[in-house]
Amino acid sequence: MISAILFISFAFFLLIGTPIAICLGMSSVFAIIADSAGRPMEAVLSVVPMLVSSSSSKFVLLAIPFFILSGNIMEKAGISEKLIRLAEVCVGHITGGLAIICVVVACFFAAISGSGPATVAALGMIIIPAMIFAGYNPQFSSALMAAASAIGVIIPPSITFVIFGSITDTSIGSLFIAGLIPGIIMGIGLLAVALWKGRKMKLEVMEKATNKERWLAFKDAIWGLMMPVIILGGIYGGIFTPTESAAVAVVYGLFVGIFIYKKIHFKEFCHLLIDSASTTAVVMFITAAATIFAYVLTRAKLNTIIGDAIYNFTGDSTILFLILVNIVFLIAGCFLDSTSALYIFVPLFMPVALTLGIDPIHFGVVIIVNLAIGLFTPPVGMNLYVACGLGKVSLKELSIAILPFVIVSLVVLLLITYIPQISLFLVQ
DSSP 279-318: HHHHHHHHHHHHHHHHHHHHHTTHHHHHHHHHHHHHTT-H
CA distances from 375 to 147, 163, 176 (A): 8, 16, 19
CA distances from 315 to 301, 307, 354, 356, 384 (A): 21, 12, 13, 9, 37
Residue 196 is predicted with a pLDDT of 84
Distance CA 226, CA 229 (A): 5
Give the predicted TM-score (pTM) of the model. 0.82
Beta-carbon count within 10 A of 273 CB: 14
Residue 370 is predicted with a pLDDT of 92
Residue 103 is predicted with a pLDDT of 84
DSSP 8-state symbol, 62 = G
Beta-carbon count within 10 A of 325 CB: 23
Distance CA 85, CA 119 (A): 16
**For residue 73, what are the domain limits?**
2-424
Distance CA 420, CA 354 (A): 14
Distance CA 348, CA 227 (A): 36
Distance CA 257, CA 75 (A): 9
Q: 144, 195 in Cβ contact below 8 A?
A: no
Instruction: Spell out a b/e string for 139-162, using b for 16 or more CB atoms within 10 Å of the CB, else e.
Output: bbbbbbbbbbbbbbbbbbbbbbbb
- In 3D space, the residue among 387, 418, 399, 392 whose CA is nearest the CA of residue 102 turns out to be 387
For the chain, first and last CA: distance in Å?
46
Distance CA 379, CA 250 (A): 34
Cis peptide before 157 (omega within 30 of 0): yes
Q: Where are the beta strands (DSSP E) in 46-98?
A: none
Q: 109, 123 in Cβ contact below 8 A?
A: yes
Total domains in the fold of the chain: 1
Residue by residue, DSSP assigns 126-187 as HHHHHHHHTT--HHHHHHHHHHHHGGGGTSSS-HHHHHHHHHHT--HHHHHHHHHHHHHHHH
Beta-carbon count within 10 A of 192 CB: 12
Residues with Cβ within 8 Å of residue 319, at least 6 apart in sequence: 418
Q: What tens-digit pLDDT sequence spans the chain (428 residues)?
A: 677 887 788 888 878 878 878 888 888 888 888 777 666 766 667 778 887 787 777 777 787 888 888 877 877 777 777 877 787 788 777 777 778 888 888 877 766 665 666 677 767 777 888 788 778 888 888 888 888 888 878 887 778 888 898 888 888 888 888 988 998 999 899 988 888 877 777 666 677 778 888 888 888 888 877 877 787 788 777 788 877 888 888 888 888 888 888 888 888 888 888 888 887 887 788 888 888 887 887 777 776 777 778 878 777 788 899 999 998 888 887 777 787 888 888 888 888 899 889 999 999 999 999 998 988 887 767 777 778 877 788 878 888 888 999 999 999 999 999 999 999 988 86
